[in-house]
Amino acid sequence: MTEATVPLRSAIAPEYTWNAESVFPSVEAWHAEAEALPAAIAAIARYKDHLADGPDQLLEALDAMEALLRRVAKVMAYALLDHNVDTANQAAARRFGQGQSLYGQTFGAIGFVDPELLAIGRETLGAWMQSEPRLAVFAHYVSDLFRRQAHVRSTEVEQLLGLLADPFSGTHATASFLTSADLTFRPAVAADGTEIAMSQAAWDHLRASPDRDARRTAWESYMDAHLAFKNTLASNLATSIKQNAFYTRARRYESSLAGSLFENDIPVEVFHNLIETFRRNVPTWHRYWDVRRQALGVDQLHPYDIWAPLTLAQPKVPFRQAVDWICAGLAPLGQDYVEALRRGCLEQRWVDIYPNQGKREGAFSAGTAGTHPFIVMSYTDTLFSLSTLAHELGHSMHSYLTWRSQPLVYRNYSLFVAEVASNFNQAMVRAYLLGQDSDRDFQLSLLEEAMSNFHRYFFIMPTLARFELETHQRVERGQGLTATDMIELMADLFSEGYGEAVHVDRQRVGITWATFGHMYSDYYVYQYATGIAGAHALARPIIAGQPGKAEAYLRFLSAGSSIYPLDALKLAGVDLTRPEPVEAAFSVLAGMVDRLEQLCAG
């Protein structure tokens, strides 16, 4: 899809857009609520220094804060979605900024809560939870608070850290505006000399073009556009890393990695196990590059060949067909799960479906308790879009079940488990489709999608995680970070991953970090790799029909943050503190490479 064929936002029919009016009936209603919130935020101060007055007072304060958080989260969800479906809409961008400000003010206002609870003491709080049943729900929260006690600061410091959430979000916003709205790209050029307009929306399409010249020039244009702003983007990311280092020091963690994983009670060994297992299994990727090179009939594979189609007979998959296939693949989870998903896609407008100018690249799921679990994506009638939809529906159904099952205090769940749920859906649907049609081209198309997914989550993301660890460690040692430093480090890491099979253009490959907004969520990317490993470990027995496994998985989805992520996964049947699930996922990958080699040879 080229820029010329990408419609304006105003041209998208309402039935293909997210159901904004289910959150607020109008923009005016959003503004009315946003303007009312500062007074509600200020009113929370009446509970400061009074949480120790007794269980009734504590319960009243917690109820008031829950009501406020519900309101703020709803305002923020609307602003976030409205902005991301059209990043060029200045009014929506202004509302997004206002929502971020309200969010930061809220967490600044309630910053006194944890220090005061700690001051009350574990024994007293335990007695209050026994005497007041409505407080009992906070048992895990209180237990976790005392686990984190050494890292909770005074009321004044906690309020300040809460207020920093808004200004510190600016680095991510800057990167998003620059890469989604402001970057310009020179046209790609097809083999016959035809110029093809390049844009964020066109990038995903052109990199999978059967025309190698179009792929190459699109990739060069995309990377060069980021390289043109390499110093700005590097300074921006370095500032984000310094912000995280500041939080690390403020909360007295030994490192940013330890601090990030501590929040969810995840040992740092989980991160290091992943990286070590990935490095041991890099030869599996080297074998895949060679299979792909031979299938394409080229002497040297380049990064832009990694997405090249291995068959031109790609099936067309309209959105409704995708929904049907996803529902069929997830049927082992039961009718309630499938029907909720189907209603969300076809009746309740969970999904903002099609591309439009200004829409944020990629896809994501967002919402809050009291709204639908919405999805923003750019569906293009391909198996790749079907897989993206399945992935995001994994997130949305995770949210749907958590919000339905858990109180507000546990409505969120960590990224660590989130990426299990999303990749699980893809694993289930892919297994279903591989068993439905033995046609060579259909099988090739499915395996191309599978390998593309594994490439992103099991090659790109661990490589970015290695980059992230090293850049954070350099900042924590007091070293500077320049664009040259980042590009050289990234190029070195990809050279190791590509081996001799893929040519590395060091500047263009080295700027890859700038193309991923994920880098502004510290220690996010490694969780894609642990997620895909956990997902396949959980999907395998369900696909095999083992009794009780689907029910255990649904309980995992419904747990929210009421238990720690690793414990939730253990209840579902996988232990990610050990390297075995990651090794097993590499076995799945190796099997796909074997099958692909057979199909290409045939």
- 188 forms bridges with which residues in the sheet? 196
Question: Following DSSP, what letter does each residue of 38-99 receive, concatenated?
Answer: HHHHHHGGGGTT-GGG-HHHHHHHHHHHHHHHHHHHHHHHHHHHHHHT-TT-HHHHHHHHHH
Task: Give the Å distances, CA to CA, from 489 to 240, 311, 361, 486, 506.
Answer: 18, 35, 25, 5, 10
Question: How large is the average pLDDT for residues 76-92?
Answer: 95
- Integer angstrom CA distances of residue 218 from 1, 198, 229: 12, 7, 18
Between CA 188 and CA 425 the distance in angstroms is 34
Selection from 273, 270, 268, 280 nearest residue 587 by Cα: 280
Who contacts 198 (Cβ-Cβ below 8 Å, separation ≥6)? 2, 3, 185, 186, 187, 188, 206, 218, 221, 222
For residue 170, the model assigns a pLDDT of 84
Report residue 231 CA to chain centroid gap.
26
Is the pTM higher than 0.85? The answer reads: yes
Catalytic residue numbers read: 392
What is the greatest pairwise CA distance in the chain? 79
- The answer to whether residue 600 scores a pLDDT higher than 90 is no
- Architecture of the domain delimited by 173-180+230-317+386-602: Orthogonal Bundle (1.10)
Query: In the Cβ-directed half-sphere of 34, how many Cα atoms lie within 13 Å?
Result: 22
CA distances from 12 to 7, 18, 160, 359 (A): 7, 11, 42, 12
Pair 573, 424: CB distance under 8 Å: no
Q: If you average pLDDT over residues 566-593, what whole number do you get? A: 94
First-to-last C-alpha distance (Å) of the chain: 31
Tell me how far apart the alpha carbons of residues 96 and 103 are, in angstroms, rounded to a whole number. Answer: 10
Q: What is the structure's pLDDT at 2?
A: 47
C-alpha 42/C-alpha 509 separation (Å) is 49
Which H or E run contains 188? strand 188-189
**CB–CB of 168/130 below 8 Å?**
no
Extents of the domains making up the chain: 13-168, 173-180+230-317+386-602, 184-228
Q: Would strands 374-376 and 351-352 be described as parallel, antiparallel, or unpaired? A: parallel
What pLDDT, on a 0 to 100 scale, did the predictor assign at position 1? 46
Spatial neighbors of 489 by CB under 8 A, at least 6 apart, are 467, 470, 471, 510
Q: Provide the pLDDT for residue 5.
A: 74
139-151, pLDDT tens digit by residue? 999 999 999 998 8
**What's the confidence (pLDDT) of residue 602?**
65
**288 phi and psi, to 5 degrees?**
-65, -45
Percent pLDDT > 90 in the chain is 85
pLDDT tens sequence across 500-558: 999 999 999 999 999 999 899 889 999 999 999 999 999 999 999 999 999 999 999 99
Local confidence band at 228 (pLDDT 50, 70, 90 cut-offs): very high
> Which stretch of 185-189, 302-306, 393-397, 598-602 has the lowest confidence by average pLDDT?
598-602
Q: What is the mean pLDDT of the chain?
A: 94
Q: What is the pLDDT of residue 161?
A: 81
Q: Using the structure block, give the residue that is written with the tokens 């309402």.
A: 14
- Please give the angle made by the CA atoms of 592, 598 and 600, to the nearest 5 degrees: 100
Cα(63)–Cα(96) distance, integer angstroms = 26
Q: What is the CATH number of domain 13-168?
A: 1.20.140.70
Residue 300 has pLDDT above 50, yes or no: yes
SS (H, E, C) 343-410: HHHHCCCCEECCCCCCCCCCCEEECCCCCCCEEECCCCCCHHHHHHHHHHHHHHHHHHHHHHHCCHHH
- Confidence grade of residue 594 (pLDDT, cut at 50, 70, 90): very high
The per-residue pLDDT for 4 is 52
Burial class (CB in 10 A: 0-12, 13-18, 19+), 114: middle
CATH topology for the 184-228 domain? Helix Hairpins (1.10.287)
Q: Kindly report, residue by residue over 229-238, the tens digit of the pLDDT.
A: 999 999 999 9
Structure tokens at 22: 């289910």
**pLDDT value, residue 152:** 82
The position carrying tokens 């700690």 is 118
Q: pLDDT tens for residues 383-420?
A: 999 999 999 999 999 999 999 999 999 999 998 999 99
Per-residue pLDDT of 153-206, as tens digits, reads 888 888 888 888 788 888 888 888 888 778 899 999 999 999 999 988 788 889
Q: What's the pLDDT at 202?
A: 84
Secondary structure in 3-state letters for 238-274: HHHHHHHHHHHHHCCCCCHHHHHHHCCCCCHHHHHHH
Q: Is the C-alpha dihedral spanning 348, 354, 357, 358 positive or negative?
A: positive
